[in-house]
Structure 1
Amino acid sequence: MATASPSTEMEVATRPLERLEDGFVYRFAAMHSPCELRIETDDSRLAENAGRAVELEALRIERTYSRYRDDSVIGCINASAGRPVRVDNETRALIDFADRAWRLSGGRFDITSGVLRRIWRFDGSDNVPTRDQIIAMRSRIGWGKARWTDGEIALAERQEIDFGGFGKEYAVDCAINALRRMTRAACLVNFGGDLRVTGPRSDGQRWRVGIEDATQPGDMAGRLEILDGALTTSGDARRFLLKNGVRYSHILVPRTAMPVKDPPRSVTVAAPTCIEAGFISTLAMLHGRKAEKFLKQEGIRAWCVR
């Protein structure tokens, strides 16, 4: 497993903390997202150290599992050309999670579908792939074609894997674990709208969280309160294609290699961990027009915006 080198901490520039009425906020960018730690303490040194710990953990996960780095674990697996690759324990746990998610979702959640980014670029344009491009990509998708046994993975011909469906959420959980090792202060970690808290606020109250309006990016659709656990939101407020009046969601169905039809504009889910909440919110989106029915049947606490 790739880990942060001794020089990594020196690479993280010192950032002034913003003092809040009830603590501090520490902001940085990672995984193509704005990230922040909110910590309720009067100790500025603790807040700075906690912020750096959260940032370093985010950078570690990004470097270890980025699909864009040839030297990442994912890069090495994808370059293996079908040869078996033995992975470390952390990666093994993540692939086990992806395998369970694939089985529980009936194949809707598939870490081999990330290869579709080669033809689908959700930049707000009208550049929809051709039918031939889509058909050609389908043969490369299917977790069932890969071999995963006792910590060893072998991909089928031209296959790739991608942890983009849960990497950021996993990083939030890792950051929370790092914080709990260093402080009992009340903390909230938010990576691009996927967030988790260490528990109640310092006064025992719930955290208040704004939910973005998927139909009006930048505006709030409402506010939720959270005492413990995580909240994630899946949606297409900023990532989509629009052609001939048809809006194409960035949530892609692995079996068809096409955007899911008629999904909610966003689904927000509460769960004990961020990686669980992220999986459920994405799976709900993959149910398209039946998203609300799926969530109700499963008894999941969720908020949908159409």
Structure 2
Amino acid sequence: MSEELSLAATSWGHLASFNAMASRCEVLIRTADREQAYIMAYQVLQETRRIEQKYSRFNNSSLLSRLNATAGDWQNIDVETSALLVFSKQCFDLSDGMFDITAGPILKLWTFGPDANVPPSASIQRALKYVGFDKLIIEASRLHLPRGMSLDFGGIAKEYACDRAASLLTLDYPHIPALVNLGGDIACASIVDKPWQVGIEDPSELDNATRTISLTGGGLATSGHTRRYLLDGGKRYGHILNLNTGYPVERAPLSVTVIAANCLLAGMLSTIAMLKGANAQDFMASQDVYFHICR
């Protein structure tokens, strides 16, 4: 048994846990068979780690880091990366350019925590010149990323990994209900005999649920800035950046939770709702999905 993965028996089956993508991850599996539960959970861990190693901007040997390091040249891309770029264009278009994976230059300026400060305005304005998904040239098997620009899949990679892991479990174990939870990004796997009960965290009382919802399929994602923010000059800045301005979104909700057909779609909608700021409610009301907004 891997030391990276812990597995505990429960009244309803088994709960597995591991760390990946800077998050505590869990797999809930409704089977009393410990060996079967371990095999399923380990498959989730492997797929999550594979995607993390491939698309992390903090891993200098990742595919993403190599793409960023050779910006200015045409670069070959595989089918998986091409599909993520196509989805990223949907995020960019639906958000009017605010949800943008070319955020790298801006993200490098902002840090969040007790000792963080707002970056100089001049630095932000310089970085914005190298942001803009519409500057990319994307073909079926190659990409041109202009010199000085960099990609960041941080807004979609965990949700994508969650869906991928759940899809693998559904394919290999269609009759064993499971729930994949990667740091709050959730996807259902296989046939669900009874709903999973999922708590939505109360932003005013962290680690406590403001409500519990039933999940029988699809995915759930929450975007918010209750845990990552900075205080500067008495003003609170959330970590979700408006890439039209280079600054954190103004008047954003504390959190937005969405249930959709899959976790990737739920994550896209919850993030765009945060980016809409004061108009989050109106945006979500037009999307025909379940959502919950905390302010």
Q: Secondary structure, in 3 states, of the residue corresponding to 1:34?
A: strand
Tell whether 2:173 aligns with 1:175. Answer: no
Deviation at 1:114, TM superposition (A): 3.1
- Give the root-mean-square deviation of aligned CA atoms: 1.5
CA distance in 1, matches of 2:141, 2:93: 18
**What is aligned with 1:219?**
208
Matched residue, 1:3: none
Alpha-carbon deviation of 1:239? 0.3
Aligned counterparts, 1:1-306, within 5 A: 12-13=2-3, 15-183=5-173, 184-198=175-189, 201=192, 204-306=193-295
Distance 1:273 1:43 in 2: 27
Q: Which amino acid aligns with 2:98?
A: R
| Equivalent pair of 2:163/2:263 in contact (CA under 8 Å) | yes
Cα contact 2:30–2:177 (8 A) shared by 1 = yes
8 Å CA contact 1:263, 1:291 repeated in 2: yes
| Structure 1: tracts of 5 or more residues without a match | 1-9
Deviations 1:123-161 (A, max 9, x none): 244511111111111111111112112221111220000
Give the distance between the partners of 1:167 and 1:133, measured in 2 at CA.
27
State how far apart, in whole Å, the 2-side matches of 1:27 and 1:283 are: 29
TM-score, length-normalised on structure 2?
Answer: 0.96
Distance in structure 2 (CA, Å) of the matches to 1:81 and 1:173: 29
Aligned in 2, Cα 1:177/1:149: closer, same or farther, shift over 3 Å? same
1:15–1:113 CA distance, 2 compared to 1 (3 A): closer
* Cα distance in 1 between the residues matched to 2:16 and 2:172: 16
In 2, Cα distance between equivalents of 1:110 and 1:141? 8
For residues 207 and 167 of structure 2, what CA distance do their matches in structure 1 show?
30
TM-score, normalized by length of structure 1? 0.92
1:200 and 1:206 in contact (8 A); partners too: no
- 1:193 partner letter: G
Deviation for aligned residue 1:113: 1.0
Aligned-residue offset at 1:63: 0.5
CA apart distance, 1:199: 5.1
Paired with 2:288 and 2:115, the residues of 1 have a C-alpha distance of 37
CA distance in 2, matches of 1:231, 1:80: 35
Moved over 4 A (4+): none
- 3-state SS of 1:103 partner: helix
Q: Deviation digits for residues 225-247 of structure 1, max 9, x if unmatched?
A: 11111110000111001123321
What is the DSSP-based 3-state SS (H/G/I as helix, E as strand, rest coil) of the residue aligned with 2:163? Answer: helix
Range with greater deviation from structure 2 (131-140 or 269-278): 131-140
CA shift at 1:181, angstroms? 2.5
Cα distance in structure 2, aligned partners of 1:45 and 1:110:
42
Distance 1:137 1:64 in 2: 25
Classify the secondary structure of the residue corresponding to 2:54.
Answer: helix
Distance 2:4 2:251 in 1: 45
SS in 1 for 2:96: coil
Percent of residue pairs identical: 37
Judging changes above 3 Å, is the alpha-carbon distance between structure 1 residues 16 and 105 closer, same or farther for their aligned structure 2 residues?
A: closer
Amino acid at match of 1:76: R
Which string of whole-angstrom CA distances, capped at 9 and with x for unpartnered residues, describes residues 57-110 of structure 1?
110000011111222111111011310111011111111111222122221211
Looking at structure 1, the residues matched to 4 and 253 of structure 2 have their Cα atoms a distance apart, in angstroms, of 40
Structure 2 CA distance, aligned partners of 1:80 and 1:87?
A: 13
Contact 1:212 1:222 survives alignment (8 Å): yes
Structure 2 unaligned spans of 5+? none
